[in-house]
Amino acid sequence: MTPSPSIPLFEEVVNGFNKLSVSGGTKKESSDLRRTRQSAFEKFRSLGGFPSIRNEDWRYTNLARFLKDEFTIEGWGGPETPAPDASLVEKAHIAGLDCYQIVLVNGSWDGTVTGGELPKGIQLLKVADARQDPALSVYFEKQAGWNEHFANLNAALFTDGIFVRVEAGVVIEKPLHIIHIYTSENNLLVQPRNVWVINKNAELSAIESVVSGGSEGGIIWVNSLSDVLVHADARFHHTMLQTAGTGVRLVQQTSVRQHRQSLYNNFTFTLPGAELVRNDLQTRLEEDHTETHLYGLYLTTGNQLVDNHTLVDHQKPHCFSNELYKGVLLGQSTGVFNGKVYVHQEAQKTNAFQQNNNLVISPKATIDSKPQLEIFADDVKCSHGSTVGQFSEEALFYLRARGIGEEAAKGLLINAFAFDVTEKIRIPEVETHVNELISLHIPTNHA
């Protein structure tokens, strides 16, 4: 496929990559990592650069209108990272939550931890440092699942991000809250790279909040890649709260690998704001007896385009996966859900469940929902379902007949619809926070 030279961002990343090789910024990295960058960039180019709707995985998510703008690339001699803005930190604050908190601005952490001293057994590092550490280099080299345009672009050009590692057998009692702030005066492409390593029999609960500056700044394209490795018997509870504002285009790939008897819980909440959100959540069950829960809720308004692509890759027997994604679509927004469950021939006794339900409130909103099951084993239990509906007139009348105004009644019904997902959140403060965010974003006029 020939890359389209008319995309200014494509030119910029090609120049950026050429500069990278001469700037010496990767000088201290291992030769393997440098080779990974090179091959990832070649892969990005051979895939045709940025994806178009001709790519099956981008069929309903047309990036053309977002790729018209010009961006500069963060890092490699780009603009300085601004200090965290207190009001943005406040915006992401979760009331009453006892947690360790760190703040990343445009993917860069200043090393500060609030909420108490980190206990022994958890390690937090700037990726700018970790990528130059020969002992950690392996975590940045070629990982499974980098078949994506954006993942390869990140793998080629990333500079910073956060590296989190929990030692074997260590249970971190308090959750870790990571606040990702994105802010810039000019149009900027930011490519944070995050790595999570949860070693054998360890446990961690993490919440990642994404917030952004006001609309007066430049447009920020965030191309974030997270690699998660959950070792045998380890448990990782991973919550994403995407609340970025209108000037943000967020592409988030999360690539999870699970080993024997491990548990991975992912909650992805996408709330109004960012004009483009594309989540690629891929879980690869590389060993037997794993358990995976993926819960998602997207509430979209205005002109938002929010796309959730998930993959659950059952490679080994006796694994359990359960996925529930719910969408509430308002305004002229568009939602996309594509849930792929792949059960390999070897993966006997697999239990895999998937459900996607949508409440389309505005007549101008749309949803494209595509469950995709590919099963090559014969002794499995798998199910999937997808629904698209509107408010129940009967329920609405019942609430109104008790004196509850139409708008308030709709708000109650939206919260009720989201309840199946929000009730699954294991931390009460986070559940309350999410419910408040939902209420806050239910507009009074649904037209």
Partner 1 sequence: MLTIKNLHAEVEEKQILKGINLSVNAGEVHAIMGPNGSGKSSLASVLAGRENYQVTQGEVFFSGLNLLDMSPEVRAREGLFLAFQYPIEIPGVSNINFLKTALAEIRAHKGLPPLDAKEFLRLSREKQKLVEFDAQLVNRSLNEGFSGGEKKRNEIFQLAMLEPKLSILDETDSGLDIDALRIVSKGVNKLRSENNAFIIITHYQRLLEYIVPDFVHVLYDGRIVKSGTKELALELEEKGYDWLKEEAREKATTI
Give min distance, CB of 420 to partner 1, in A: 7
Give min distance, CB of 409 to partner 1, in A: 8
CA distances, 445 to each of 15, 80, 152, 249, 423 (Å): 46, 41, 41, 25, 27
Give min distance, CB of 416 to partner 1, in A: 3
Kindly give the interhelix angle for 8-23 and 31-46, rounded to the nearest 10 degrees.
Answer: 160
Give min distance, CB of 96 to partner 1, in A: 17
The residue among 401 and 447 lying less far from partner 1, judged by its C-beta, is 401
Based on the number of CB atoms within 10 Å of its own CB, is 397 exposed (0-12), middle (13-18) or buried (19 or more)?
Answer: exposed
Q: Which residues pair with 342 in a beta bridge?
A: 313, 374
Give min distance, CB of 400 to partner 1, in A: 4
| Token output for 51 | 């994806």
The residue among 56 and 393 lying less far from partner 1, judged by its C-beta, is 393
The residue among 76 and 419 lying less far from partner 1, judged by its C-beta, is 419
| Token output for 310 | 């998930």
Give min distance, CB of 335 to partner 1, in A: 20
The residue among 359 and 360 lying less far from partner 1, judged by its C-beta, is 359
Question: Residue 166: which H helix or E strand, with range?
Answer: strand 162-166
The residue among 43 and 410 lying less far from partner 1, judged by its C-beta, is 410
The residue type found at 385 is: G
Binding footprint of partner 1 on the chain (CB under 8 A): 392-395, 397-406, 408-409, 412-413, 415-420
| Of 372, 358, 362, residue with least CA distance to 420 | 358
Residues with Cβ < 8 Å from 107, sequence gap 6 or more?
A: 74, 127, 159, 160, 161, 180, 190, 191, 192, 193, 224
The residue among 123 and 415 lying less far from partner 1, judged by its C-beta, is 415
